[in-house]
Amino acid sequence: LVFTLITIGTRFTAGQANQPTPAVARRAQQTVPAPQYIPPHDYDQRNIRLDLKFDWEHEQAIGLATITLAPTVKDLRRVDFDAAYMTISGATLSSGSTLKWDYDASKERLSVQLDRAYQPTEELTVVISYHTNQPPPEKRAGLGGGGLNFIKPRPDEPTRPRQVWSQGEAESNHLWFPSFDHPNDFITSEIVATVEKPLRVISNGKLISAKDNPDGTRTFDWKIDEPHATYLTSIIVGEFVPVVGEYAGVPIITNVYRNELEEGKITAARLPDMVKFFSEKTGVKYPYAKYAQTTVRDFGGGMENISATTQTDNMIHDARTELDSTADSLESHELAHQWFGDYVTCRSWSDIWLNESFATYFQALWDEHSLGHDDFLYLDVRGNQESYYAAWARGQRRPIVTKNYANPDAVFDTYAYPRGGAVLHMLRTFLGEDNWWRSINHYLT
Ligand SMILES: [Zn+2]
């Protein structure tokens, strides 16, 4: 995840302008939040299939969630899912037999009573019919785009595109489908979504089919067989044209607006080379059926949804702009996450540096490869160090790994990104090139 680069720059350097305060006073200002733990659950979620259509007027997804799971305890009689701002209309087993359920909106929890006790040797499939609701405005502000967002033309902006995009990290995917919405239980997933032409659906993994329906709609079926954390599940609906590239038989695609195709080609020119570079350096070939990055409106940065990154449409620029600045940092950062974050994932948000510091340092390694060692040292290594020193100087101090955070979104700070990136550079320098790359390969494999 990257918030807009401007935001990061402001946040990481804002403290430098402040007058220094005495060390004792600075330390006294910092309160340490209570430790956080991923809540326990008594089943292993294995596959989630979503069948979705959209009500644009009410900004709702109308869905069927088919969740396959296995008990991790004896005699499992009830399954609890995370589910927020939802209207539930029913729950059944895959056989069709009806199950009792209870939805507690205040706890964001859907409890489904099973028809009998299930054992760890069994697998069962629960089907939940539901629709989403937009959180009230006072809640939306704190979500930072989390959940499902509807973009529509407005009187003050009639050319605004029609889009739906989701944002799952840290724990917001349970705003659009019931699930165990924490990073320590991987699933395979399938999203089958029906939209009006000429809209398209972009999601994780491989496009199994795109079928025309008699009513003028189209149904897209996306499926990913590689297990992944819940928060990496994504859907984007919109009108896009692809900039198509390729690496070793894997399609490398940048989905852009129709009127930005030429600019899209310029912006994404080095993306296939980035996939090659990370594949060769890590010794792990890009692991999914395709890589797509898709630009959307009002998205604050980039998000490494598995094999289907979401990017801000501000990323796209023309040839003149390319002379002064590229989008390589954002593109290489989200791409690096496909290995560090998606292929291997932090078990809890305490360890977020395993995602963000690695993506920050691998975006720097791309700079070293494409711009040279001096640019790498000056722009990236020094930049990461100075961001960290500035945070420390303004009294913002924490260990890189900590259970003491206010909420899962609060860990995405200077220590998760440049501070850990600076430590990785130290480790690489200490180990030397051969041992560093052997270590990286060992970590991933
Ligand atoms: Zn990131």
Q: pLDDT tens across 161-171, in order?
A: 999 999 999 99
CB-proximal residues (5 Å) to ion ligand 1: 1-2, 356, 359
Per the domain annotation, does 330 fall within a domain? no
Q: How far is the CA of 32 from the centre of ligand 1 (A)?
A: 24
Distance (angstroms) between ligand 1 centre and the Cα of 108 equals 27
Summarised one tens digit per residue, pLDDT across range 118-152 is 999 999 999 999 999 999 988 887 787 899 999 99
Other CB atoms within 10 Å distance of the CB of residue 193: 26
Residue 331 inside a domain? The answer is no
Are 346 and 383 members of one domain?
A: yes
d(CA 14, CA 20): 13
- Domain-embedded: residue 49: yes
pLDDT band for 27, please (50, 70, 90 cuts). Answer: low
CA 374/CA 377 separation, integer angstroms: 5
User: Could you read off the pLDDT of 241-261 as tens digits, one per residue?
Assistant: 999 999 999 999 999 999 999
Ligand 1 center to residue 245 CA distance, Å? 23
**Residue 293, beta-bridge partner list:** 254, 309
Q: How many Å lie between the centroid of ligand 1 and the Cα of residue 326?
A: 18
Find the 25 Cα to ligand 1 centroid distance in Å.
Answer: 33
| pLDDT value for 337 | 98
Distance from C-alpha of 166 to C-alpha of 152, rounded to nearest angstrom: 15
CA of 94 to the centre of ligand 1 (A): 37
pLDDT at 20 (0 to 100)? 47
Tell me, what CATH number does 258's domain have? Answer: 2.60.40.1730
205 and 319 assigned to the same domain: yes
312 and 360 in a single domain? The answer is no
Q: Say whether both 178 and 292 belong to one domain.
A: yes
Q: Is residue 12 part of a domain?
A: yes
Q: List Cβ neighbours of 147 (8 Å cut-off, separation of 6 or more).
A: 84, 85, 132, 135, 166, 167, 172, 173, 175, 176
- The mean pLDDT value for 336-347 works out to 98
Q: Quick one: 225 and 247 in the same domain?
A: yes
> Would you say the ipTM is above 0.85?
yes
> Would you say 383 and 418 are in contact if contact means Cβ atoms under 8 Å apart?
yes
| Bridge-based pairing state of the strands 187-196 and 43-55 | parallel
Per-residue pLDDT band for 23 (boundaries 50, 70, 90) equals low
Distance 114 CA to ligand 1 centre (A): 39
With H, G, I as helix, E, B as strand and everything else as coil, classify residue 393: helix
Claim to verify: residue 137 and residue 278 sit in the same structural domain: yes
- 135: CA distance to ligand 1 center in Å? 25
Q: How far, in Å, is the centroid of ligand 1 from the Cα of 137? A: 27
Query: Does 147 share its domain with 176?
Result: yes
Distance 169 CA to ligand 1 centre (A): 10
In a domain, 439, yes or no: yes
The rounded Å distance from CA 303 to ligand 1 centre is 7
Q: What is the Å distance from ligand 1's center to 289 Cα?
A: 21
Task: Choose between 40 and 31: higher pLDDT.
Answer: 40
Same domain, 153 and 102: yes
Any domain includes 283: yes
Question: From the CA of 409, how far away is ligand 1's center (Å)?
Answer: 12
Our count of domains for the chain comes to 2
Tokens (6 digits) for 354 = 């395993």
Distance 374 CA to ligand 1 centre (A): 24
213 Cα to the center of ligand 1, angstroms: 38
Question: Which CATH number do you get for residue 420?
Answer: 1.10.390.10
CB crowding 202-224: b at 16 or more within 10 Å, else e: bbbbbbeeeeeeeeeebbbbbbb
Residue 142 phi, psi dihedral angles, 5° rounding? -80, -10
Of 256, 289, 324, the domain-final residue: 324
Specify if 353 maps to a domain: yes
How much is the pLDDT for 149? 97
| Cis peptide upstream of residue 34 (ω within 30 degrees of 0) | no
Give me ligand 1 centre to Cα 308, in Å. 14
Q: What is the pLDDT of residues 102-123, one digit of tens each?
A: 999 999 999 999 999 999 999 9
| Per-residue pLDDT at 8 exceeds 60 | no
159 plus 281 within the same structural domain? yes
Q: Is 205 within a domain?
A: yes
- Top pLDDT among 143 and 306 is at 306
The whole domain housing 195 covers: 43-324
Q: According to the model, what pLDDT value does residue 6 have?
A: 39
